[in-house]
Structure 1
């Protein structure tokens, strides 16, 4: 039956009509004809005493368009807003912060990597917004830095204090009681030390390849026989849990970051040098797949080859924990990775990669 629908109680209710049914195709064609002719349609029967003026828009005007990449960043800004909302349960807020962090990784590894591949060259086909790849990269860097600052401000002033009030804490090794610290040191010797490979960077050795998204520990070194500061790297093993459970009085759940445990023992690896400081960092690389299904004889082999290649793709961003990082060591890192020290470096005042911190609440029934 059309026109009216019957409810479960037997009463009839008006059937819903689609919103667009109020304007038929002939009306749309009439309005379009007026616009094409430069006329302003007068009031129709249902318009009442006032009239609506249609202003023709120039479809070629870039100001009428939003940039795709910047729009995506605004979407991720809304994800971050969920983490900021006091109306969202605490654990859900931490999850949203992790989603925000992993989303940005994907964005840089695919979208920004594609723009960097185009930057500096002649681009004949600009997007409707008229922005060149270089324009987009500059705008993306500016907005992404704002989002990073906002995320870490949220973590330091709101979210982490709320987790502490809930009995969930993240501590540094030197904050542990002596007995617990001794147990952590023993765990380092038995489980962590055997899988670490320290690398000293000097003119005689090329800069090592740093795996995509892997957390690394940068070590600033000084040798007695050298005037220039040295640099070392320890890649934090991805096969080990980054959050190490420890016991802290008054806390229901307490953790130490794996990179902080390694930083405590860096002197054991570089005994001929004086340790000037350490800082964690991670590198994002071009992670986009480039597969030509027409050319590849074996699609599976092609995909496997691309997966191996993209772990060695060009660097697109580096995150650096504030720590003890000096400008000179950051510049050295940027030169080795071919990154801009202003646009491509993101210094953060807290733990790297919030997505890993969701392990703090795993198994908690609250």
Structure 2
């Protein structure tokens, strides 16, 4: 035993080789999403959707992560992570992996999905396959709908290269001949207006093969590009798209965060260029010309065989077997028994497991609170709510009904800034008190508190969750919500709201852990406790599920726990910088990722804790930003039945999954889990759909 202990002291936990680079790990997640397009268990249109989700994920990856790396390179600032890789090394590796992935993506699209969809009667028609009637229809559509909104820009000394909006579709057009002014510049740029759909459905009467026939706007412009330059002829037409840095630099000390943010949102459309996507038939000299205009290198050019803006190809066809079967989320029995949500919660805590169980009880709680004369106050955090949100409607009603409504709105929820500014404005106009969280700390906690008269005193009701108050995402993300009137928990929620809206010392909480104060130290001490138990030869176990793991002190604590013999299972959807399975360091750690129909979003922490079975749900991932730069909550689930449910549905099922699970290898790549010989396939999400919705 001593020999092993000494051996462990020799391992340097700061060694860069023991950590996976964060951006490369995120890239691996995107590759797992791309592979869903090849999984025949998903219906065809859903496979196409995964291919498109890969595109929009990669857009964000370039806009934020690659842009950040390029920025680090230019300014010489920014520290390497625990993996020690330098910005240029990471960028080179990203380019290598991404060029391969993009080729694979377009191969899947052109050679697998489009032919399979055509067999099902869903056609994306190329120009060379248009019939005469279709070509005539396209010509008319182009003249009436497209031509009037196009603005071709000839490139000459009076018309320098235009500023193109981030991710917009554009064409570069080489020209022959002279125009009306006798100019012969030889080149023009045609931006495709954002107001036009990227896919146009053809009317049935001009199609012989069923009713789902689509034409790309790019094909339409391509076919008629010469019409834009009278008297000249276009000798080519090549689509391209530029991706820019879209990370906002907001001055935290701005007097008015909302108006500072509005100014930044405009500039996001014209940040520094980070990637060029261009049709693969575009002549080399034109690709080089574009790269020069955008100050990009050959490594930043992605030549694609198909539409450059796949993320805008989302469409639906009325063919049920090509989509997932719809399901109806269940409403827990406890809520059906009572007219009033308050009465139901009075009978005991209620657990909601979305999307299998409905989010409507949370909306109903607000709706009832807004009308109930006994309700005095409602407090809620809003990170992402969406623009037409029932939740905002009920908060407005409550404010108009004279209740004290406090909304802590996080304006800087990335890519939701505009709808959050709009939501905040609506609530203020209704008379609600709107607070923009704490300067320098994003408010990412998911909490709702209702204060209600109860006889002579008052009673509090709380909802705590792992996901946003956004009715759309509650249908596609897996999340937990707890509705409770438990005094201690509600008291803690009340204190956090006071901390967010007032000033003063960090709230002293009895039951909840919260960032940036007690959550990180608590996690470390829970992990260390298991380590001590294992060293003492007692049972020790950690199972945790979250979206990302990047925080180095937690990774080091997990390594020490593994060395002591603690069995550790991590279910990490996205980024994981820890390397499992390294002898002498992490052989007791297993990491898996589940990718399926629903986006895994629950955060569950479970520690054996000498038989006490600590179980917490949280809004926080194990990342630096969640633990140190955000306001997050982490709440215990104490009711034995609810705890059993989470252990079974939220952890055991995911550890048993052998159909949609991937295991992380020590080298940072992932391998798809296959059922063992004679073992039946088990898909956690499918099992939950069948059990919880009866569908």
Instruction: Please report the TM-score for the alignment, with normalisation by the length of structure 1.
Output: 0.80
- Does 2:279 align with 1:321? yes
Pairwise CA RMSD: 2.3
Aligned partner (choices 264, 269, 280) of residue 311 of structure 1: 269
The corresponding residue for 2:189 is 233
The corresponding residue for 1:48 is none
Displacement of 1:56 in angstroms is: 4.2
CA distance in 1, matches of 2:224, 2:217: 11
State the aligned residue count: 316
The corresponding residue for 2:29 is 75
Q: Name the SS for the 1:188 alignment partner.
A: helix
- Does 2:290 align with 1:336? no
The corresponding residue for 2:228 is 269
Whether the 8 Å contact between 1:317 and 1:345 is mirrored in structure 2 is: yes
- Does 2:11 align with 1:40? no
Whether the 8 Å contact between 2:172 and 2:187 is mirrored in structure 1 is: yes
Whether the 8 Å contact between 2:124 and 2:215 is mirrored in structure 1 is: yes
Structure 1 runs (4+) deviating above 4 angstroms are 53-56
Aligned partner (choices 271, 277, 299) of residue 257 of structure 2: 299
CA distance in 2, matches of 1:223, 1:249: 40
Whether the 8 Å contact between 2:67 and 2:245 is mirrored in structure 1 is: yes
Structure 1 residues 55, 253: CA separation in 2 closer, same or farther (over 3 Å shift)? farther
Whether the 8 Å contact between 1:120 and 1:134 is mirrored in structure 2 is: no
Structure 1 residues 180, 274: CA separation in 2 closer, same or farther (over 3 Å shift)? closer
The corresponding residue for 2:307 is 351
CA distance in 2, matches of 1:96, 1:55: 46
Structure 1 residues 230, 58: CA separation in 2 closer, same or farther (over 3 Å shift)? farther
CA distance in 1, matches of 2:195, 2:43: 31
Aligned partner (choices 166, 174, 190) of residue 220 of structure 1: 174
Uncovered stretches (5+) of structure 2, i.e. residues with no partner: 322-695
- Does 2:324 align with 1:365? no
Whether the 8 Å contact between 1:110 and 1:286 is mirrored in structure 2 is: yes
State the Cα deviation string for residues 133-184 of structure 1 (Å, max 9, x = none).
Answer: 1111111111111110111111122111111111111113442222232122
The corresponding residue for 1:166 is 120
Q: Name the SS for the 2:81 alignment partner.
A: coil
Report matched runs for 1:6-155 at 5 Å: 39-41=3-5, 56-123=10-77, 125-155=79-109
Displacement of 1:279 in angstroms is: 1.0
- Larger RCO (CA within 8 A; separation ≥ 6): 1
Displacement of 1:272 in angstroms is: 4.3
Structure 1 residues 177, 125: CA separation in 2 closer, same or farther (over 3 Å shift)? closer
Whether the 8 Å contact between 1:321 and 1:348 is mirrored in structure 2 is: yes
Q: Name the SS for the 1:119 alignment partner.
A: helix
CA distance in 2, matches of 1:83, 1:245: 23
Instruction: Please report the TM-score for the alignment, with normalisation by the length of structure 2.
Output: 0.43
Displacement of 1:252 in angstroms is: 3.5
Whether the 8 Å contact between 1:95 and 1:355 is mirrored in structure 2 is: no
The corresponding residue for 2:151 is 197
Displacement of 1:236 in angstroms is: 0.8
State the Cα deviation string for residues 190-247 of structure 1 (Å, max 9, x = none).
Answer: 1111101000112442110111111111111234799x97221111111111111124
The corresponding residue for 1:248 is 207
The corresponding residue for 1:50 is none
Whether the 8 Å contact between 1:291 and 1:303 is mirrored in structure 2 is: yes
Structure 1 residues 124, 87: CA separation in 2 closer, same or farther (over 3 Å shift)? closer
Displacement of 1:55 in angstroms is: 8.0
Whether the 8 Å contact between 1:169 and 1:251 is mirrored in structure 2 is: no
CA distance in 1, matches of 2:66, 2:78: 19
Moved more, 209-218 or 273-282: 273-282
Whether the 8 Å contact between 2:156 and 2:185 is mirrored in structure 1 is: no
